[in-house]
Structure 1
Amino acid sequence: MRTLVLLGLVGFAAQLVDGSLGMAYGVTSSTLLLAVTANPAAASATVHLAEIGTTLVSGLSHWKFGNVDWKVVARIGVPGAVGAFAGATLLSGIPTETAAPLMSLILLGLGTYLLVRFTLRGLPVRRDPRPPGRRFLTPLGLVAGFVDATGGGGWGPVGTPAILASGRMEPRKVIGSIDTSEFIVAVAASVGFLIGLGTENIDFAWVAVLLAGGVIAAPIAAYLVRVVPPRVLGSAVGGMIVLTNSRTILRSDWVDAPGGVRAAVYVVVAVLWVAALAYSIRAHRAQQRAVRPESELARVSS
């Protein structure tokens, strides 16, 4: 019973983070599941089955708050489903420990770029007016879907920073569209796991409590992403990616850092992340104060 309550709380916290930052539901949930089961495929299957419900509610919530670009959802979601089905089928019989550190290095680079860019510069003044096209979103969806299924999470950490870095969408629209398209990916991955594993290795009680926690958190997260300033949101996304993937790399066979070294790195990254968020908040407030007199002057002139 204690395990089920803990899983429910994890589902709530994971969806709250995922719905407001566009990532980390699968990463957070899979980490706990892997701690109590030795089968990575079963852990990923459990998470993706729960995500069918959480992403549906999250997508509807984001749509209600105007955070969804449906063209982007279609262009990245369909190839994402193909990649997820292929990844689920592969993971059902082949371990993926070797690929995880390499992908984490790529994500760490993207996360560092986003953290620095949004903290120091915020959103570009002149955003690229062209929306993300199929040439960009199709391969991105394939890779993100494949990584998501094989790693137990990754749709958000791969898709969100890549689209944010393109400068073609505001953060809340990126997060809303990624969360909404994840429903298609979760369905495809779940079908792949059910075909490859069957149902005997999946604990549906775990699926239910993860789903319940996520469903409760989804509308709250969709509201938060609308009210949090884009500059602050970008810094939060970048810091989440850096912290998550630093952990993966340090624990991998490539590095296998001692516990003390890992703890020191986590503390340094966390301190830098908090400092970046504080700087972004101050910069946003300063920008708001600078814009307010101009708006008042414009009203007086009119």
Structure 2
Amino acid sequence: MPTADDAVAARAFAGRLGLPGLVDVHTHFMPDRVMRKVWAYFDSAGPLTGMAWPIAYREEEARRVELLGEFGVLAFTSMLYPHKAGMAQWLNGWARDFARRTPGCLHTATFFPEPGAGAYVADALGAGARVFKAHVQVGGYDPNDPLLDPVWGALADAGAPVVVHCGSGPAPGKHTGPEPVARLLARHPRLRLIVAHLGMPEYLDFLALAEAYEGVLLDTTMAFTDFSERFAPFPAAALPRLAALGDRVLLGSDFPNIPYGYPHQLEALERLGLGDAWLRAVCHDNAARLFGLPLG
């Protein structure tokens, strides 16, 4: 479990690489009552997790923001997502206000297949949203739902990145896996999709989509950690392919909803042996370029 040394270890990692800090594209901030329901779900080992999952950083919101600063995280997201219709627009309003009052937060928004989704996504873009979150597993929807056509069109036109939980880990959903995403990309090839968790456990299929579509990126969230390797090991033979995609892999952590200390994700990436240049790109430079952040 996390200790007071987490900040020291995370900052030392960035320092060894000569980085000014880290950019984490997959961190969760959401309204307090929603976050507490998410934590309760993890505590109950619900069907979408199916295993014990202790929350490492169960802290009040201000302390969680403070912790990321202590870890040397320069920029981060507020990944939030609806599990039913009628939630997304309200969540977007909260996320807009959170980004305005939180230095370092990349203004995040979300959506759900429902009437009016295109309009509120356009509103979010107009309000300055820089990244979106789609959770196919929790939302239980097909990303090809016709109600989402105006959403995907607007996001493709804007070039706005969308972090998509579309892999079947930690438990499969009705619409998870590579096939729905492949159909989506065939219709909207300009989409800038960030596949969460490297598409765990369908790593090879999502690597292939990244190789086929220039706009597809991958985030490292929970991949390669001791926790995930127990049930969804990354195939070692695919590491050269991951190395070749080094300019399209982004650091993600799932903070605060992780069952280990924050530095373990960084250590898990380092022990892959893909080199310092790859680590610098993944942990800072790729996301800095994507979001127009300072590189130095």
Q: Same fold, TM exceeding 0.5?
A: no
Computing the radius of gyration over CA atoms, which structure comes out larger, 1 or 2? Answer: 1
Provide the TM-score with structure 2 as the length reference: 0.24
TM-score by length of 1: 0.24
Q: Which has the higher helix share?
A: 1
